[in-house]
C-alpha cells in the first residue's frame, strides 16, 4: 500500500500536505480500502473556520458512512470539485486526484500531534 513520505497523518486516517500557505486534506489509502467503494462525499463546510479534529464532512461508501476530521485548525477554502461527479477518485488515487479539501491552516495550527509516515504505518501494522 502506498503511503507518501511527504505527508502528515492522523489516527483517524486523514492525511495533510502542506503547500505554501495552504494545505490539502484527504483520507489515506488504508481508509479508502477499509471503507470500500466510495459513492458520495458530503462536505458543506467550505468557507468555515474549524478547530482541529472537528468534523468537516462525511464520506459514504457502499457499506457505511464515516465522518471526516480536520487534522489542524483551519478554514476550509475549497472542496475538490472533481469528487462531485467522481467520488471514486478517493479509492483510485487518494493522495492526488482524490484530495478532499484545500485549507488555510490557522495561525495557531498545531502540527505536532500529526504522525510521519513511519508512525502512521505502525498504527495500522503495515
> Which DSSP symbol is given to 115?
B
pLDDT band at 126 (very low <50, low <70, confident <90, very high): low
78 closest CA partner among 54, 49, 45, 112: 45
Residue 93 main-chain phi, psi, to 5 deg: -150, 70
Per-residue pLDDT, 63: 84
pTM here?
Answer: 0.95
In whole angstroms, give the CA distance from residue 5 to residue 14.
Answer: 14
Quote the mean pLDDT of the chain: 95
All cell numbers assigned to 36: 470500500
- The mean pLDDT value for 25-53 works out to 96
Which CATH number does 8-107 carry?
2.40.50.100
**Which of the two residues, 1 and 3, has the higher pLDDT score?**
3
**Which of the two residues, 38 and 2, has the higher pLDDT score?**
38
> Which DSSP symbol is given to 110?
-
| pLDDT tens digit sequence for 45-83 | 999 999 999 999 999 999 899 999 999 999 999 999 999
Q: Domain residue spans in the chain? A: 8-107
Amino acid at each position: 500500500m502506498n503511503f507518501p513520505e511527504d505527508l502528515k497523518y492522523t489516527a483517524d486516517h486523514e492525511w495533510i500536505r502542506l503547500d505554501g500557505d495552504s494545505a490539502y486534506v484527504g483520507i489515506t489509502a488504508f481508509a479508502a480500502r477499509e471503507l470500500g467503494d466510495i459513492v458520495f462525499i458530503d462536505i458543506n463546510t467550505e468557507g468555515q473556520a474549524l478547530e482541529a479534529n472537528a468534523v468537516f464532512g462525511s464520506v459514504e461508501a457502499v457499506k457505511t458512512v464515516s465522518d471526516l476530521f480536520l487534522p489542524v485548525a483551519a478554514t476550509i477554502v475549497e472542496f475538490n470539485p472533481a469528487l462531485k461527479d467522481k467520488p471514486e477518485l478517493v479509492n483510485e488515487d487518494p493522495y492526488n486526484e482524490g484530495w478532499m479539501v484545500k485549507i488555510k491552516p490557522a495561525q495557531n495550527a498545531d502540527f505536532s500531534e500529526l504522525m510521519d509516515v513511519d508512525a502512521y504505518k505502525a498504527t495500522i501494522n503495515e
